[in-house]
Chains A and B, each alone.
Chain A
Amino acid sequence: MSAGSVQAAAGTTPDVTGVTGVARAPWRSPLAVVGVTIIAGWLVLAAVAPWVAPSDPLAQDAAILQAPSGAHWFGTDELGRDVLSRVLHGARISLPLAFVLVAASTLIGSVVGAVAGFFGRWVDSVAMRLADLVFAFPGIILALAIAAALGPQLRNAVIAVVIVSWPGYARLVRSLVLAARTSQYVVSSRLLGASGLRTLFVDVRPNIAGPVLVMSALDIGNAVLLLSGLSFLGLGAQPPTPEWGAMVAAGSQNFDRWWVGLFPGLAILTVVLAFNFVGDTLRDVLDPRTARALRE
């Protein structure tokens, strides 16, 4: 029953059944399984890093720039720190931040988009012009200017990425709310005397959750890339923090010692790829356009 019902749910306007479809269908896709496994693996590694890492990520107690060997599987960096330990500890920075970034952008964007779409008029114009403004900049140029202006710090880089990312959610949520606003259930709710905010939160919210979830899942990868890019440019995490982007930057200083930059970059790639595997599958399940194409 499920394959048909999932697609039927995805084919109509996304609703609560669409959300249950998300929970079930992705397990049929090998890509999503691989993605979830990789993410779970990284989460476990992040949790146990202090115990499994061969040495302290900040300890400079080995010879510098040693090639990978039995003692140092990923070699050592320009200060004689164990690259493997730093990559493992890097997961404790990049993964939580990835979730924080996307949660913050989703929250801000959804609230702005919902309010703009539901109340319309000048609120709508102001919010959407603001979103247009952010969209007028290619992402990293604005993030770069913000991060540089606030000062090179991991916290400021996070703020910069959130400022660059929220408008995407605002636009999506606004269009969904606009579509829902004239629907029967919203009109009925208002006729029963529910306030605008109550209708928005109780009746509209569950009905737009699916697409927003997909967008968040697809966006996590981009957020990780943008944040590590800022760190790579020296505008995010500062030394000696074992952040993956900053570690690749150290690798570019010693480009002939490939292991310094290769492994942290691989870590970023696997995390982003895993999130994109999951997000892509979720979209296939939920996006009516792709779902229709698949049904053919």
Chain B
Amino acid sequence: MNDAGTLALAALGLPLCAFVLLAVVAPLRRAGKAAGALGIAAIGGALVAALVLWRSGQGVELAWSWLPAEGGPMATVGILVDPVAAVMLVLVALVSFLVQLYSLGYLEHETGPALGRYYAYHSLFAVSMIGLVLAGNFLQMFIFWELVGLCSYLLIGFWYDKPEAARAAVKAFWTTKVGDLGFIIGIVLLWGRAGTFTFSELFKMAGDGTLAPDGLGLVMFLIYLGAVGKSAQFPLHVWLPDAMEGPTPVSALIHAATMVAAGVYLVTRAYPLFLLTPDVLALIGWVGAFTALLAAVLGLVQADIKRVLAYSTVSQLGYMMAALGAGALGAGFFHLLTHGLFKALLFLGAGAVIHAVGTNDVWRMGRLGGAMPQTAIVFLVGTLALAGIWPLAGFFSKDAVLAGVWEGGLTVPFLMLALTVFLTAFYMFRVVFLVFFGAGRAEGHPHDPPVSMSLPLWTLAGLTVGVGGYFALRGGGQEGHGPGWIPWVSSALAVAGIVCAWVTYQKQAVSAETLARIFAPLYTAAQRKFWLDDFYGAVYRGGFLALSRLVGWVDRYLVDGLVNWASAWTLRVGDRLRRIQTGRAQDYLYGVAFGLLLVIVWSYWP
């Protein structure tokens, strides 16, 4: 084991130790703040290890037997560090660290045991997410994939006595589980043809053509289904907006920067296999672009600041997937990284606002720019990055995506994504104008957050500017190979979106109601979330629950009814037969006579 192996294990092991300590040592967990300090220290250590590992540029692959079998293990667990994993590891550790730090301030009013539980879940999440990033085979990836899903479920339901939170947690678990069914079947099918789960062996087989391509499309489609669930692609995106019932830092970490990007990471990881199935890749591109547009439309009509951000996350995940589908692997992954930074920034900024004014409703906020200048500045940085304004990080990655999709020949998806650029700028600046400027007025006396919360905000803002500045100085992103007009068009669209938002929500030259009237059918459809939630609700109640009641009835009253019928019939027959025993000697004598007769007949029968 070389240095890289040790560092990777340290990054994995430190949060694991924190989790085990918090889970097992009850007094430590109930101490609250101390539990938080432990969690933060552990993830801080993991962050250092991740940074050192990334700078060293070393790679490593380790594996230990996990499922022993005759003639060598059937499956292994281990660690795979390559450039993709290393940079993803840094992102995960960094955002986890900042969010855990931020949470100390954000959740200051929670009781000790609740805070301890929160940090235990967070440590488990860090372990699982790092394990997912470092996984060297599909099975291990699936294992940690499910574990991050578990943490998501637990943290959405952190305030478990709120019925909405309980419902949202369960919905998130079930919806992602639907995708995971495809994922696990895909893994099993892939094992059935290749006999291994390990990426490096599979890639080798893909490279030298020993992996039969016929039927592989189905396998890769099934694996992609896992990514559809986790990365909230249409039609399984419905859980992510509801997941905003969890505490805001959780949304920033799990439902914006890291876990939801796991699906993109999965496709990135298994890209050599997806390259063998161009049809599936094209599907990924189309679904991604459609998701981006659909979620942007939904983001237009939300009143809850976190839901706007949630839909924007869905939309941006669509961008990443579209790039991967179009063959622009680097662009998609690049957007994952930059998006992780500025979306975490936006969520944490929104958290600072919510923390200050005590509501999520943008219509009940306003003119917070003066009261919370720091928050306003960092939020604006994040918004500009998301809208794709030069020279922030989002500009370069978004252009790389657009260029990639154009180059990949997916013209219609490209147009959808371009329209989405306009919509993104519009709905994000709608929020900015309503919250920080605008005409409304928030209640109470809002103020900037304490230093434990503002430090992560400034760090992320600095990184968003810094990464963008780095590429600006270098003269463009490393992936920007598309035609020269793309940055101009996308910038123009973004600026147009900002101007429209300014006209509507700041100048109020056009009222929002008028816009809603003009786009009435679309507006209604978006308000109803395109009826997808209603549809799934109907499937759940009318399909699963109704079918279960039917089966339950059949079991109790038909299958078991037959058993009872046999039993009751036996009892009745027994009751009849009992009456033969009359106790009168004559009756018995008749019986003996009849029996004798039978014996005689039988003996003399010819």
Q: Do the two chains bind? A: no
